[in-house]
Amino acid sequence: MGKNNSTFTIIAGVNGSGKSTFALDYFKNTDTIFINADSIAMALSPSNPDLSQFRAGKLMLNEIKRRIKNKHSFSVETTLASKNYLKETFA
């Protein structure tokens, strides 16, 4: 069996600290996809992404679970504002 080198990277920081900017630049030339609910919401509703935040969050969680199951590399950002962030996200 081959060795799986997939990775899961968490980019954490306070609001406005540049997490998305860093991730988009850092993973630009890699196989790691950056999964971001804000970007998903913008794609769903470009004129008013706030309307799509809940749906975008659900889509993000589904994509995270799919990538874990298939052992594909990915990255997410968080402020770790919730005490149960990891438990809620990856349960």
pLDDT for the residue 88:
63
pLDDT for the residue 31:
86
Q: Which two tokens stand for residue 44?
A: 């769903």
pLDDT for the residue 58:
93
Alpha-carbon span 14 to 80, nearest angstrom: 8
Sign of torsion over alpha carbons 34, 35, 38, 39: positive
Which residues are within 8 A (CB) of 73 and not within 5 positions of it... i.e. 6 or more apart?
Answer: 5, 6, 7, 8, 9, 30, 31, 32, 33, 67
Report residue 85's pLDDT band, with 50, 70 and 90 as the boundaries.
Answer: low
pLDDT digits (tens, 9 = 90+) for 35-71: 999 999 999 999 999 999 999 999 999 999 999 999 9
